A and B are shown apart, each in its own frame.
Chain A
């Protein structure tokens, strides 16, 4: 009986994982950046994206930047004096924040792009899993 209950939970759990590709992209990014954390605290400058992050397993959206492990930036947020890990979402944000951001997820030339910035990964002491190594670039 216990086996069937577990099988049922496992199946439901897999179905629950049938989420949008966008959610799966972000889940993979956060898992790669914080492999040890059971709960990743995320702050976002865009409220509707905050709602998306709150639906990810192992992610908690926080209201204050100071409480976050990573800031998900979508707009013209001032990040100059920020000491938190930053991830850029959108081409203009990525271009503007290349000096600080750990990486970016953005559209360019009609394609979805994922880029991790090598020097900023090294600064944070992050080693990405093999599956994402091809997205690491020397961005100046």
Chain B
């Protein structure tokens, strides 16, 4: 008996002692990912993009990741800002998608001034990205949205070093970024990041007018962590051309746009568990549009020249706390946000300006209760009050309510959510001073209120993973623009969406994923691709990492023009010359058959992603 026990001990030691130590360190790295702490299964359907994923796809900007999104998928507006669009739909309301860097909302604009430019958000200082969909967003302690994109910055204690990256494409674009992250003492650490990039894009022509969308961008971010304090500053500037501009015949002479965004954010975690956050955001947008074919305005008829300057400030105070027991987690909090907006507009020779502000008060709570080790119930409630300075806009009280259940059965997970939320109406649809300007605004609008019924089933095996997700959405009070009436609330609409994905992880570093999605409007109209799918493969062979993506979207028709089915093949190869030096080659929309966005007044579609080839070099020290 004793001999057998000794043999068993030796056998066990052999089994564990023989494991490859490099593989063990890799497991430790994966186990230490911040997403293990931040990822919240109860916040909605969540997808995670790890640093390893981002490195293998040689992602530069958030736009590169959004190419993998299913619902909503990515496109671009006529003014070259980011357009999130659901299958068959024109687009998701801008306040329906919020992007955070750590806990700071970098999409706080009250006016919707065009700061939503995913290609302006670079990722070299980001550790991982979480994307939540069908979300009530309450547990992020901020303003409402149904899609939440959370970018988490690299942690100094894990980096302890610096990195420089240089990349350029065949069209003359250049991109340079550098960061440094270190611990200075056991209690103080920092991360500092800067990026400059000049992006050259394909030029299109309409009736002899050039449709340009080149941009010149600057990004920076820094944080300083001292004991329970975190100080963050960040921002970007983006100067460039706005593609189609505003002309009715799409014959732009000038479409210049200049966005400057800056924020500061302080977080303090008190010993009693209370977290306090104070932040300030500043967004300044300048735009100049000249179109001899005429820009149709609500207040000044047809003009050839339109200038716009918008200066916004957002001041926030957020307090929250989580009470936890072994089976229950209660999250409570509240915030106050004060938003100021000043707008100057010039229509040919006529100028007009206005300024206004509003304050948003919010209280929220969310309770998660584990009925047993496999079942969690979630209930959330949030009350928001909007108080506008101007009496031209009616004060609004809104609420978000959510019920959810998560059931784990062996390797299966079932999620079901009922969510009643709302989209904040931007000031640009509510108010334009004493008279109509570019648009006919309406201060009596009700906010749009989506109600989502969502169901998802996931299977997580060792090598095989699959997800099926479905949502039925009832949108009350959708806001639309009517040339005669201006912005108005329309009748309730219904929308159904489905998606499925399968991933096969055939080695530790290699996996292939397939997904498909479909979205149907109540009226069966198709204003964008009604369905699509991806094939994504990540592979590693020795010193080489490979990434391949095929993004398929069905054809559709809009504005009397048809777009054929699209096949966007993106391929990336990375060669690790040493542990600290790598070279990469990446092709985007290689077949030049990528998704085309259709626009009013244009007789053809425009590529969302250009056909490009990038060379990349990264060095760590």
- By a beta-carbon cutoff of 8 Å, the part of chain A in contact with chain B is 2, 6, 9-10, 13-14, 17, 20-22, 24-25, 27-28, 31, 75-76, 90-92, 106-114, 129, 131-132, 135
Instruction: Verify B580–A109 contact, CB threshold 8 A.
Output: yes
Residue with the highest number of chain A CB atoms closer than 10 Å, among B19, B21, B29:
B21
How far is the CB of B539 from the nearest CB of chain A, in Å?
20
- Given contacts A108-B160, A114-B25, is CB(A21)–CB(B31) below 8 Å? yes
Contact residues of B between 1 and 25, Cβ < 8 Å to A: 1, 4-5, 8, 11-13, 15-21, 24-25
B residues in contact with A110, CB < 8 Å: 51, 154, 158-159, 161, 620
Contact residues of B between 130 and 175, Cβ < 8 Å to A: 154, 157-161, 163
Decide yes or no whether B40 CB sits under 8 A from chain A.
Answer: no
A residues in contact with B390, CB < 8 Å: none
How far is the CB of B7 from the nearest CB of chain A, in Å?
10
19 contacts between A and B (CB under 8 A): A10-B12, A13-B12, A17-B15, A21-B25, A22-B31, A24-B19, A25-B24, A28-B16, A28-B17, A75-B186, A91-B160, A92-B186, A107-B158, A107-B160, A108-B159, A110-B158, A112-B29, A131-B21, A132-B21
Instruction: Verify B31–A108 contact, CB threshold 8 A.
Output: no
Nearest-neighbor residue (CB-CB) of B127 within chain A: A110
Q: When the two chains form the complex, which single residue of B13, B25, B159 contacts A109, counting CB atoms closer than 8 Å?
A: B159
Decide yes or no whether B541 CB sits under 8 A from chain A.
Answer: no
Instruction: Verify B21–A135 contact, CB threshold 8 A.
Output: yes
Instruction: Verify A112–B32 contact, CB threshold 8 A.
Output: yes
How far is the CB of B186 from the nearest CB of chain A, in Å?
5
A residues in contact with B11, CB < 8 Å: 10
Rounded to whole angstroms, the CA-CA distance of A46 and B215 in the bound complex is 50
A residues in contact with B620, CB < 8 Å: 109-110
How far is the CB of B283 from the nearest CB of chain A, in Å?
32
Rounded to whole angstroms, the CA-CA distance of A110 and B26 in the bound complex is 11
B residues in contact with A14, CB < 8 Å: 12, 15
Instruction: Verify B21–A28 contact, CB threshold 8 A.
Output: yes
Rounded to whole angstroms, the CA-CA distance of A62 and B30 in the bound complex is 30
Contact residues of B between 307 and 330, Cβ < 8 Å to A: none
Decide yes or no whether B183 CB sits under 8 A from chain A.
Answer: yes
B residues in contact with A25, CB < 8 Å: 24-25, 28
A residues in contact with B16, CB < 8 Å: 17, 24, 27-28
Residue with the highest number of chain A CB atoms closer than 10 Å, among B15, B29, B30, B51:
B29
Instruction: Verify B157–A21 contact, CB threshold 8 A.
Output: no
B residues in contact with A28, CB < 8 Å: 16-17, 21, 24
6 other A-B residue contacts (CB within 8 Å) besides A25-B28, A107-B158, A112-B29: A27-B16, A76-B186, A107-B159, A109-B620, A111-B29, A112-B25
A residues in contact with B163, CB < 8 Å: 109
B 364-379 to A, binary, CB cutoff 8 A, 1 in contact else 0: 0000000000000000
Rounded to whole angstroms, the CA-CA distance of A75 and B187 in the bound complex is 10
DSSP majority for the A interface?
A: helix
Rounded to whole angstroms, the CA-CA distance of A21 and B28 in the bound complex is 5
Decide yes or no whether B185 CB sits under 8 A from chain A.
Answer: yes
A residues in contact with B38, CB < 8 Å: none
How far is the CB of A13 from the nearest CB of chain B, in Å?
6
B residues in contact with A2, CB < 8 Å: 1
Rounded to whole angstroms, the CA-CA distance of A112 and B159 in the bound complex is 10
Decide yes or no whether B435 CB sits under 8 A from chain A.
Answer: no
How far is the CB of A37 from the nearest CB of chain B, in Å?
14
Decide yes or no whether B397 CB sits under 8 A from chain A.
Answer: no
A residues in contact with B160, CB < 8 Å: 91, 106-109
Instruction: Verify A10–B24 contact, CB threshold 8 A.
Output: no
How far is the CB of B536 from the nearest CB of chain A, in Å?
23
Instruction: Give 8 closest A-B pairs by Cβ, nearest first.
Output: A21-B28, A21-B27, A109-B161, A107-B158, A91-B160, A108-B160, A109-B620, A112-B25
- Given contacts A20-B31, A109-B160, is CB(A6)–CB(B8) below 8 Å? yes
B 254-275 to A, binary, CB cutoff 8 A, 1 in contact else 0: 0000000000000000000000
B residues in contact with A114, CB < 8 Å: 21, 25
- Given contacts A28-B24, A111-B29, A114-B21, is CB(A6)–CB(B12) below 8 Å? no
Residue with the highest number of chain A CB atoms closer than 10 Å, among B158, B163, B185:
B158
- Given contacts A13-B12, A14-B12, A25-B24, is CB(A92)–CB(B185) below 8 Å? yes
Rounded to whole angstroms, the CA-CA distance of A2 and B154 in the bound complex is 54
How far is the CB of B182 from the nearest CB of chain A, in Å?
8
Instruction: Verify A31–B17 contact, CB threshold 8 A.
Output: yes
B 570-610 to A, binary, CB cutoff 8 A, 1 in contact else 0: 00000000011000000000000000000000000000000
Instruction: Verify A13–B8 contact, CB threshold 8 A.
Output: yes
- Given contacts A13-B8, A17-B12, A24-B16, is CB(A108)–CB(B25) below 8 Å? no
A residues in contact with B158, CB < 8 Å: 107, 110
How far is the CB of B596 from the nearest CB of chain A, in Å?
38
Nearest-neighbor residue (CB-CB) of A31 within chain B: B17
How far is the CB of A76 from the nearest CB of chain B, in Å?
6
Rounded to whole angstroms, the CA-CA distance of A10 and B7 in the bound complex is 10
How far is the CB of A110 from the nearest CB of chain B, in Å?
5
How far is the CB of A27 from the nearest CB of chain B, in Å?
7
Instruction: Verify A108–B161 contact, CB threshold 8 A.
Output: yes
How far is the CB of A65 from the nearest CB of chain B, in Å?
19
Rounded to whole angstroms, the CA-CA distance of A113 and B24 in the bound complex is 11
How far is the CB of A38 from the nearest CB of chain B, in Å?
10
How far is the CB of A105 from the nearest CB of chain B, in Å?
9
How far is the CB of A80 from the nearest CB of chain B, in Å?
17
B residues in contact with A13, CB < 8 Å: 8, 12
B residues in contact with A129, CB < 8 Å: 17
Rounded to whole angstroms, the CA-CA distance of A121 and B26 in the bound complex is 25
B residues in contact with A90, CB < 8 Å: 157, 186
Rounded to whole angstroms, the CA-CA distance of A110 and B162 in the bound complex is 10
Q: When the two chains form the complex, which single residue of B8, B17, B30 contacts A10, counting CB atoms closer than 8 Å?
A: B8
How far is the CB of B310 from the nearest CB of chain A, in Å?
39
Residue with the highest number of chain B CB atoms closer than 10 Å, among A92, A108, A109, A135:
A109
Q: When the two chains form the complex, which single residue of A6, A21, A31, A75 contacts B24, counting CB atoms closer than 8 Å?
A: A21
